[in-house]
Amino acid sequence: MLSGEMSSSMMLNRVGSSIVFPLHGNVYPAGYYNVTLNIGQPPKPYFLDIDTGSDLTWLQCDAPCHHCTEAPHPLYQPSNNLVACNDPLCASLQPPGDHKCLDPEQCDYEVEYADGGSSLGVLVKDVFLLNFTNGKRLNPLLALGCGYDQLPGRDLHPLDGILGLGKGISSIPSQLSSQGLVQNVIGHCLSGRGGGFLFFGDDIYDSSRVAWTPMSRDISKYYSPGFAELIFDGKSTGIRNLPTVFDSGSSYSYLNSQAYQGLLFLLKKELSGKPLSETSDQTLPLCWKGKKPFKSIRDVKKYFKTFALSFTSGGRTKTKLEFSPEAYLIISSKGNACLGILNGTEVGLGDLNVIGDISMQDRMVIYNNEKQVIGWVPANCDRLPKSKSNSI
């Protein structure tokens, strides 16, 4: 990678330090969590959606822009530092075996998202201003997309760009790791009250308290704990082999048709005879109302059971990801309880099951690319963590 070019100050930084970013946003009503990054010379702030389901980081860009969507900040003015077409970063963004260079001096990219949105542009390098937990401030030069043609997806909201946190070499954490600046470990803690934090590096959490499971080699494109079995109220449903991925770019969670119908049947069975009735609410496909509007999940918690996805993590041991009512319900603006789990087969996800933001709230979720494991642990996401190495 870039190890030959590391300066001694970069090597010193390897001794366990992390970068922590505050997050803004919520599952409902915003529908996204974003981070503020300072990019460019001089640095300017941009709001980026955090997305563990894709690799490339890009900004809406004045190159000039052919088609940009509404953005909170002025368009990014690209640096003149183009990434060449033969750069490995460029090749990693092209479909396999389809790496053609129309112009050897530049790297064109196009990314498409599951919600139908896309970005087309050119790869540039620019300075990112980063504060490390050991007190250092560094300005590494990193590759990002200058997006001059964006199509909005279903989940349209104003954004300056996307922070790709996937496993590929073009993701910002991968680039930082190849420059020797942090371990290739990403984590996030999304607060149910809104906000939270994102971190790069491995000295923010106590590994012994985390439930770990190996990253799947079968679903290798995404962060996947492999194939799950659906457990409802502690009992197996018989629904197994559910290919599952974590995606912080998705507000809600998705089950394939079979698992979704199975879960719906069990939830509705539990609700029969309870003082809740189905109601139509524009917020989500399935909502329930009570005798009077609900103010919080606490008002309905007693009527809903916990379910879980259970993953076999090497050999016979199983790691469970539990979904309490807080991890699958929202209270809509009308005071109804709505199911934040949707039928993924209906929106084009095929057989894939997606764990979205709603189901990752109030826990730290960690993607350790060094050890190829994914972990989760209940956490207070309202307080920014200090690095373990310099906390008392």
Extract the tokens encoding 139. Answer: 């300005």
Q: Which amino acid is located at 323 in the chain?
A: F
Q: Which helix (H) or strand (E) holds 373?
A: strand 373-378
d(CA 343, CA 279): 18
Q: Which amino acid is located at 58 in the chain?
A: W
CB-CB contact of 41 with 153 (8 Å): no
51 is catalytic: yes
Four-point Cα dihedral 164, 167, 171, 177, nearest 10: 140
Which residue among the candidates 49, 51, 160, 202 is catalytic per the annotation? 51
108 is catalytic: no
CB-CB contact of 1 with 178 (8 Å): yes
d(CA 75, CA 67): 11
CB-CB contact of 71 with 159 (8 Å): yes
d(CA 363, CA 383): 12
Which residue among the candidates 160, 202, 247, 357 is catalytic per the annotation? 247
- Write the DSSP symbol of residue 381: T
Kindly report the CA angle at 223 between 221 and 228, in degrees rounded to 5? 105
Q: Which helix (H) or strand (E) holds 266?
A: helix 257-271
Extract the tokens encoding 150. Answer: 């964006």
d(CA 58, CA 143): 9
- Write the DSSP symbol of residue 387: P
Max CA separation in the chain (angstroms): 69
Q: Catalytic residues, which ones?
A: 51, 247
